[in-house]
Amino acid sequence: MHLIQNEFQKLFLKKSSWIMQLILIVMVFLMTMLMLMISRVDGIAEKPQPQGVTTYLNSEGQQISKDDYLTAQSEKKAEGYSEKVLSPKDSVTALKAAKENAPKTEQDSIQKQIDYYQVYADKGKTPMTSSSSMSGPEFFASLGTVQMIASILVAVVASVIVASEFSGGTIKLLLARPYSRSQILASKFLVVLLYAVITSIVLLVSAFLFSLFLSGGDYLLPVSLDLGALNAVQAALLLLGSNFILMTVYASIAFLFSSVVRSQALAVGVSLGVLFSGSVLTALLPIAIAKYDWMKWILFNLLNLNSAVSGQQIAGGLAVWQIIAGLFVYIIIFLGLSFFIFKKRDVALS
């Protein structure tokens, strides 16, 4: 415990640790300002519109398919045709009918929509939506869309926490203390996790406070069709939890490089390189996974955890619990390598 306390004090005595938290808050603020600017056209905020299942009617008032409606429009034969947005109660009825004839691959998505509208129907309210910007609850539910920034900050801390001991020449003094190398490394990783917890709390609180500047909405009502009946608070906490798992993954990768190299700059550069390359490879993975099913377990595919908990389908069709299980396997592997390398490492030339 004393070792963990000492490492924690060392971390927060650095101005950079506090500056990074300030950067996170500023990023959330800037995203809020961006949403406010986008939501205004010619200085006037766009008025949110009622949301519901859209039905299409011909000139005789009979319901037709969307394809027939679009065909009539393209052929300029849509005079008298119209669209109608159903109430939440009628939307539930329409979706239940659609689910009965839908293929199995689409039934889960339709059920989430049913759950979404059912809550509004039960409470006698109508969901509102805007095509140009987020509402306050939507912004909060997405944590201001800057959760990747929070992960980067944690990865930076994990990258330098060991490498700085080598570059600063303090590693010998640290190893001279009555603690094993495993205890020293474990304490440093626990401190990184504590920093990740603090970063997550700062992200959650700042996202909530700044979301209050955006257009109104109920934080206790469902926030997205993709999330079903989950409200903004539940969605934000769910995303925060999944992002913390990703923080742990990024931290374990960065921790491995921090244990291998002596240069802080190199440790940070390599770690962030791995982090950003993941977003590039993610775009190519669906093609590879379609041909080789085993590739769905590649780390870069599992890093789409935030998308999965937000209701999106990831390549390979993995469930959220499968993604989490796979990520924990990678965490164990990275940490195992870190401890093995650090215990065997010769510090005589440091």
- Report the predicted TM-score, pTM, of the whole model to 2 decimal places: 0.86
The pLDDT assigned to 75 comes to: 65
pLDDT at 140 over 90: yes
Report the C-alpha gap between 246 and 243 in whole angstroms: 5
Q: Which residues, in sequence order, are CB contacts of 340 under 8 Å at separation 6+?
A: none
**Cα(45)–Cα(285) distance, integer angstroms:** 39
Listing DSSP states for 202-218 in one string gives HHHHHHHHHHTTS----
- Cα separation values, 181 from 176, 190, 259, 334, 344, Å: 10, 14, 12, 17, 9
What pLDDT, in 10s, does the model give residues 205-256? Answer: 999 999 999 877 889 999 988 898 899 999 999 999 999 999 999 889 888 8
Q: Which of 6-10, 124-128, 305-309 has the least mean pLDDT?
A: 6-10
What does the pLDDT average to over 185-201? 92
282 near 300, Cβ under 8 Å? yes
Map tokens 């990023």 to a residue.
Answer: 27
The pLDDT tens digits for 29-77 are: 999 998 888 776 545 556 777 788 888 777 776 777 777 777 766 766 6
pLDDT of residue 235: 94
Note the pLDDT of residue 150.
93
pLDDT digits (tens, 9 = 90+) for 83-121: 788 888 888 888 888 888 878 878 888 889 899 999 998
Q: What is the pLDDT of residues 286-340, one digit of tens each?
A: 888 888 888 889 888 898 899 888 888 887 788 899 999 999 999 999 999 988 8
State percent of the chain over pLDDT 70. Answer: 87
Q: How far apart are CA 225 and CA 196, in angstroms?
A: 30
Q: What are phi and psi of 231, to 5 degrees?
A: -90, 180
- Count of C-beta atoms within a 10 Å radius of residue 42: 4
pLDDT at 77: 63
Which carries the bigger pLDDT value, residue 269 or residue 22? 22
- Rg of the chain over Cα atoms, rounded to whole angstroms, equals 25
Q: What distance in Å separates the CA atoms of residue 269 and residue 155, rounded to the nearest whole number?
A: 10
Confidence (pLDDT) at 204: 97
The rounded distance, in Å, linking the Cα atoms of 60 and 250 is 59
